[in-house]
């Protein structure tokens, strides 16, 4: 692709890719505008008072653009009184109508609000998970049909000077698109480009584009591919970033930071929405924290004049050799940093997944138990759990034991105290010269593992550039990534570390991680975040995964309460993916790779899915949780807590 090289340059040096300036009412997106923050109401759009009250809470939290669902003409009409009341109260925040299956509602909404969002997957097509086959001529006829249905809205928005978001969702790609391009990032991009073509054919350019998925890997690949295609075509539209159905609490924040943060690091993104299964005003501080990190960003690293040695549009894990349980086909290891402690006791390991029972004289190992502890100059003087190993700077170690040395890159070749099984070589990510200096050793010493560290202020560029150089030099040594964080609060730590480590893992880079954050008082949070990052990047599964939508006016039950109940009942089912969806708009599609699905289909009625198939229909909500448990048991995947 001719745009590969131009886009790849942004992978080593930070700058936001310049996009067209588009206005949503009085709010500018793209161009030289700051990254804009937005969210979506969860109220019924027909509830005028409730929608106004929630909108005000969102605005006061910092929301710059507010979206409402408009599933039918009546909701689209009711946007007019909502807007009038807000304006009368002194709020001029632009409003957006969210449209899926109803083109006539979109045309009504365009008369009342500043922006309309359409989903190419269901605006003129349907999704039934059917395999369709078209000749080129038949496919062209389908495109004409799409154009006939979509053009009236384009012309109306052009006349009324309304902007439009063409919002592709991975979970609602039409059967037509999937038949030709597959359930893939390419299919997402092609779906959007069809609608972009119709807009451009009508000289309409006030567009914002999104490529949302509940899987951060798919999402990042789709946005990157879209940007490359837009650069190639000539019109580079602003991007709306978001991980859809991210979930709640820690999981939702980690997954959102990996997807959104990784793209912001690439220089992509003009407006963001963090989709949490929480109140919409709770999303704005998270979005702001992610966006503020990119104000006056000026980090640079050494550029390169060779082709990128991996494909940023397609996931493949960097091939490395296996050294003990690191690299090769092993899952990434987790290392806990205990180097700041003056002494190490068995109780210190409780926060890292190990509990010692004195009376039984045995250790209990949790699912989220770290693989190594880094202890600085201290060697623990007690018997460790059998699965735990120690990394230390001490010169005293036993090569047959669980203690392994970490060496300075400057003296590794001459070091006398080496292990016969595993040696860590510590190097700064910005010191690219060390790669050439150590190349012969790294290619021949099967015990060597690189321990690459960077301060968080260096962002991902130093580490990414380090990986690029390793791959260019053909070095297959495993790499442990280590970022240092200081003077940040718990929320910043969670979001920033998820961005920094996650951005490499979704590109298939990194064989382990160590998060150094001595200012964070809770080591349990550090451990949980580390495993959460691996879970969200789908590189190591240690708990149940929940794909839950953020709720909106279409939601047919209390999502927050229901998600909490399902989580409480099933969170011990390690490795299962459970989708919890408020309605059928994106539900069946977004949870298509989930093992089980819980989807609202009517007031007080739930459908249960096994993968893509509905297996229990119209279950009373009061019985749905127990029916879900029964379904899991019927398939032999239930274990007692």
Q: Which of 478, 506, 536 represents a domain boundary (last residue)?
A: 536
Instruction: Give counts: helices (H), strands (E), the chain.
Output: 19, 27
- Domain for residue 304, yes or no? no
Q: Which of 267, 292, 317 represents a domain boundary (last residue)?
A: 292
- Domain for residue 147, yes or no? yes
- Domain for residue 98, yes or no? yes
Q: What is the pLDDT of residue 9?
A: 46
- Domain for residue 317, yes or no? no
Contacts of 411 (CB under 8 A, 6+ apart): none
Residue 249 falls in which region: left (phi positive, over 0), alpha (psi -120 to 50) or beta? left
| Whether residue 339 is found in the same domain as residue 281 | no
Angle ∠(454,297,291) on CA atoms, nearest 5: 100
- Domain for residue 214, yes or no? yes
Alpha helices in 90-183 (DSSP H): 103-109, 120-123, 136-160, 175-181
Residue 245 tokens read as 């159905």
CA distance linking residue 604 with residue 218, whole number of Å: 33
Contact present, 290 and 269 (Cβ < 8 Å) = no
| Whether residue 118 is found in the same domain as residue 213 | yes
CA distance linking residue 69 with residue 100, whole number of Å: 9
Q: End-to-end distance of the chain based on CA atoms, in angstroms?
A: 51
The values of phi and psi at residue 117, to 5°, are -105, 130
- Residue carrying the six token digits 């052009």: 158
Rounded alpha-carbon distances, angstroms, from residue 186 to 3, 37, 266 = 16, 27, 19
| Whether residue 254 is found in the same domain as residue 343 | no
Contacts of 473 (CB under 8 A, 6+ apart): 435, 436, 439
Per-10-residue mean pLDDT of the chain, 641 residues long, equals: 43 78 98 96 96 98 97 96 98 95 94 96 76 87 94 98 96 88 93 97 98 94 97 97 85 95 95 93 96 81 88 95 96 96 92 89 89 93 89 69 89 86 94 94 95 76 92 97 92 95 97 94 93 95 79 68 86 85 65 81 86 87 92 90 79
| Whether residue 262 is found in the same domain as residue 170 | yes
| Whether residue 134 is found in the same domain as residue 258 | yes
| Whether residue 55 is found in the same domain as residue 14 | yes
Residue 225 tokens read as 């591919």
Q: What is the pLDDT of residue 542?
A: 87
- Domain for residue 55, yes or no? yes
CA distance linking residue 316 with residue 467, whole number of Å: 14
Q: What is the pLDDT of residue 550?
A: 65
| Whether residue 464 is found in the same domain as residue 576 | no
| Whether residue 391 is found in the same domain as residue 521 | yes
Kindly report the CATH number assigned to the domain that includes residue 593.
Answer: 3.30.413.10
How many domains is the chain built from? Answer: 3
| Whether residue 338 is found in the same domain as residue 373 | yes
Q: Which of 292, 324, 342 represents a domain boundary (last residue)?
A: 292
Residue 523 tokens read as 């080591």
Task: Quote the strand ranges of 13-170, DSSP E.
Answer: 22-24, 27-29, 36-40, 65-69, 95-99, 115-118, 163-169
Q: What is the pLDDT of residue 539?
A: 95
Structural domain for 591, as ranges = 545-634
Question: Comparing C-alpha atoms, which of 350, 384, 382, 386 is closest to residue 368?
Answer: 350
Q: What is the pLDDT of residue 1?
A: 30
| Whether residue 451 is found in the same domain as residue 565 | no
Residue 568 tokens read as 């409480």
Neighbours of 641 (CB within 10 A): 8
Contact present, 331 and 521 (Cβ < 8 Å) = no
| Whether residue 88 is found in the same domain as residue 111 | yes
Kindly report the CATH number assigned to the domain that includes residue 206.
Answer: 3.20.20.20
CA distance linking residue 14 with residue 297, whole number of Å: 7
Enter the pTM of the model: 0.89
- Domain for residue 303, yes or no? no
Contacts of 255 (CB under 8 A, 6+ apart): 214, 216, 243, 246, 247, 498, 536
Contact present, 334 and 327 (Cβ < 8 Å) = no
| Whether residue 449 is found in the same domain as residue 373 | yes
- Domain for residue 497, yes or no? yes
């Amino acid at each position: 692709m001719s745009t590969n090289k131009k886009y790849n340059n942004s992978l080593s040096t930070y700058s936001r890719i310049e996009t067209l300036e588009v206005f949503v009412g009085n709010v500018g997106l793209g161009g030289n505008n700051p990254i804009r923050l937005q969210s979506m109401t969860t109220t019924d759009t027909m509830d005028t008072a409730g929608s106004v009250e929630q909108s005000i809470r969102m605005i006061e939290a910092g929301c710059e653009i507010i979206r409402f669902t408009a599933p039918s003409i009546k909701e689209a009409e009711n946007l007019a009184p909502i807007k009038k009341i807000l304006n009368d109260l002194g709020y001029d925040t632009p409003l957006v109508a969210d449209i899926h299956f109803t083109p006539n509602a979109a045309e009504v909404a365009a008369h009342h609000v500043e922006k309309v969002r359409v989903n190419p997957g269901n605006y003129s097509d349907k999704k039934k998970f059917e395999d369709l086959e078209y000749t080129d001529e038949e496919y062209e006829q389908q495109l004409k049909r799409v154009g006939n249905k979509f053009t009236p809205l384009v012309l109306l928005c052009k006349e009324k000077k309304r902007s439009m978001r063409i919002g592709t969702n991975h979970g609602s790609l039409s059967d037509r698109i999937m038949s030709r391009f597959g359930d893939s990032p390419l299919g997402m991009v092609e779906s959007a480009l069809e609608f972009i073509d119709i807009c451009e054919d009508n000289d309409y350019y006030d567009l914002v584009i999104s490529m949302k998925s509940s899987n951060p890997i798919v999402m990042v690949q789709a946005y990157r591919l879209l940007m490359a295609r837009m650069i190639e075509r000539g019109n580079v539209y602003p991007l709306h970033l978001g991980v859809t159905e991210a979930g709640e609490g820690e999981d939702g924040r980690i997954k959102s930071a990996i997807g959104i943060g990784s793209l912001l690091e690439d220089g992509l993104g003009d407006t963001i929405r963090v989709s949490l299964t929480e109140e919409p005003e709770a999303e704005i501080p998270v979005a702001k924290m992610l966006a503020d990190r990119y104000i006056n960003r000026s980090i640079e690293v050494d550029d390169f004049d060779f082709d990128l040695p991996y494909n940023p549009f397609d996931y493949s894990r960097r091939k490395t050799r296996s050294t003990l349980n690191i690299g090769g086909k092993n899952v990434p290891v987790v290392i806990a940093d205990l180097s700041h402690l003056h002494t190490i006791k068995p109780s210190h390991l409780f926060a890292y997944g190990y509990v010692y029972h004195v009376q039984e004289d045995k250790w209990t190992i949790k699912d989220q138990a770290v693989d190594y502890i880094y202890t600085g100059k201290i060697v623990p003087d007690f018997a460790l759990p059998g699965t735990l190993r120690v990394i230390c700077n001490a010169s005293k170690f036993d090569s047959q034991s669980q203690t392994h040395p970490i060496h300075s890159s400057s003296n590794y070749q001459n070091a006398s105290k080496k292990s016969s099984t595993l040696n860590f070589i510590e190097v700064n990510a910005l010191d690219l010269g060390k790669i050439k200096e150590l190349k012969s050793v790294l290619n021949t010493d099967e015990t060597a593992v690189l321990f690459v560290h960077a301060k968080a202020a260096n962002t991902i560029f130093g580490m990414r550039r380090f990986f690029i150089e390793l791959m260019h030099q053909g070095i297959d040594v495993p790499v442990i990534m280590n970022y240092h964080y200081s003077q940040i609060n718990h929320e910043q730590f969670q979001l920033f570390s998820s961005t920094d480590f996650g951005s490499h893992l979704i590109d298939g880079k990194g064989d382990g991680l160590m998060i150094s954050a001595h200012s964070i008082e809770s080591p349990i949070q550090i451990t949980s975040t580390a495993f959460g990052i691996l879970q969200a990047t789908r590189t190591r599964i240690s708990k149940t995964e929940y794909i839950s939508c953020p709720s909106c006016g279409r939601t047919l039950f209390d999502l927050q309460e229901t998600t909490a109940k399902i989580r409480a009942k099933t969170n011990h089912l390690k490795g299962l993916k459970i989708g919890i969806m408020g309605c059928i708009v994106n539900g069946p599609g977004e949870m298509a790779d989930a093992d089980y699905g819980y989807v609202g289909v009517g007031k007080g009625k739930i459908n249960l899915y096994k993968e893509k198939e509905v297996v229990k229909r119209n279950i009373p909500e009061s019985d749905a949780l127990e029916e879900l448990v029964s379904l899991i048991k019927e398939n032999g995947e239930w274990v007692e807590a």
